[in-house]
Structure 1
Amino acid sequence: MSQLAPAHEPKKVMVVDDHLIVRRGIISLIAEDPAFAVCGEADDGAQALDLAAETLPDIVVLDISLPKIGGIDVAIQLKRIAPDAEILFLTMHDNERIVADALRVGARAYLLKSECDDKLMEALRALARHQPFFAAHVSERLLESYLNVRTDHSATPLTPRERQVVTLVAEGNSNKAIAAILGVRVKTVETHRGSAMRKVGAKSAADLALYAARHRLVQI
């Protein structure tokens, strides 16, 4: 397939994977196309977020399973750090729920590592045009189901007030800030937050953010 003509500056690509040999393989493929330039590489989620803030990549090639901060949580935070960045999940996971999570948090491309040699550059070229690219195993039905479905609050176990609190937590607000926004006491916020966490099985604010993304309580 022909290369994308570099009419402007090369698209900056950040590569995030905890296996050095995988990163080296990805970087070597990208180096063959002058329309793209690797702006950095990271081997864990925390390092990836620091690097993204420093380099503001156009495209992030991201694994699902990462040390320190998992790929899904990294994607959620990336959309705040570099909101225009396109995300390509490159992973071994061929699991419908994981694919759904990837779509929910804003990924526009999803490939299996077994497809990397044949499809990686094709996916990057699509993302450079802000177009989606998914491997064959991500069916059209799955895309329609998870990208176009309307939010169904009745499917969540949360009360309306708990949904408000979860949404505000996912947007990065502290309990004190949420109390001011809702006009309630901090203790009330803590009660709703704790109740919501128990209902959805969340252990942290990051878990609540992922829940909010899955159920479209936040716009990512």
Structure 2
Amino acid sequence: MKLMIVDDHQVVRQGIANLLRNLLPAVAITELDAGLDAIARYGSVQPDVLLLDMGLPDVSGLEVARRIRQRWRGAAILFFTMHDELPMVRQALEVGGMGFVSKNCAPEELAEAVRWVAAGKPYIEHPIATRLALNQERPVDHRLRDMTQREMEVLLMFARGDAVSRIAERLCISNKTVSNHLALLKSKLQVESSIELVHLAVDAGLLRLGQEARAGRA
């Protein structure tokens, strides 16, 4: 089995790789720390499973999945991330993810998820799958429920500190379109300022504290 791991935290990425080498002895692993690198190298590596973080320093995991699935319709993408809010899970599945597990899952469940996705079968971490089945939202989720994939990507990048021009460049859209998305987000999410958008992203678990500064230096 060939596995590509995309996570910008070196310690986390290497720890996952070592863990899966022990649990999946026949696995060959490619490690990458950025989304654009994953897109550029996917065709040459042709992994059986792409293990993809959501929050990357260049483009979001959602955008990586969308672009890869546009070019390689059969790509088997397993999201592995700190984000377990149901709107994010739904967005991940809508862009073509075959699986979703959080970084709080047991090592054995991660290995099982990789096996399932490699076999072409969907896999969602059990507690998340239960919440999806019961449609259980956390209190802040109701404001995120109707967001589109593009709006979620713009929110994540903006909350990390990316300028409008940088977001536009990464998503291949115009500055005006990004500004329109941000204005619509403020209305849809019932906030009045840019800082409130950032606070909402943190409160919803879409952004870890300190991630803005790290992304700004990337």
TM-score (norm 2): 0.59
1:60 corresponds to which of 47, 50, 59: 50
The residue number in structure 1 matching 2:65 is 75
Cα deviation for residue 118 of structure 1 reads: 3.1
The residue number in structure 1 matching 2:181 is 201
Deviations 1:148-177 (A, max 9, x none): xxxxxxxx9xxxxxxxxxxxxxxxxxxxxx
Q: Considering only aligned residues, what root-mean-square deviation do their CA atoms show, in Å? A: 3.0
Cα deviation for residue 94 of structure 1 reads: 1.5
The residue number in structure 2 matching 1:94 is 84
Contact 1:41 1:48 in 2 (8 A): no
Equivalenced residue count is 146
* SS in structure 2 at match of 1:88: strand
The residue number in structure 2 matching 1:46 is 36
Counterparts of 2:53 and 2:33, CA distance in 1: 10
Q: For residues 5-44 of structure 1, what are the structure 2 equivalents within 5 Å?
A: 11-32=1-22, 33-38=24-29, 40-44=30-34
* SS in structure 1 at match of 2:68: helix
Deviations 1:68-112 (A, max 9, x none): 111000000111333222111110012111111001011111111
Where is the helix percentage greater, Structure 1 or Structure 2? Answer: 2
Q: Structure 1 residues 138, 58: closer, same or farther in 2, change over 3 A?
A: same
2:106 paired with 1:126: no
Rg larger in structure: 1
Contact 1:18 1:67 in 2 (8 A): yes
Unaligned runs of 5+ in 2: 136-145, 147-172, 184-218
Deviations 1:165-198 (A, max 9, x none): xxxxxxxxxxxxxxxxxxxxxxxxxxxx99xx58
* SS in structure 2 at match of 1:31: helix
Identity %: 34
Deviations 1:4-41 (A, max 9, x none): xxxxxxx2110000000111111112212234221x21
* SS in structure 1 at match of 2:126: coil
Counterparts of 2:182 and 2:38, CA distance in 1: 23
Runs of 4+ in 1 over 4 A off after TM superposition: 197-200
Contact 1:52 1:81 in 2 (8 A): no
Contact 1:45 1:74 in 2 (8 A): yes
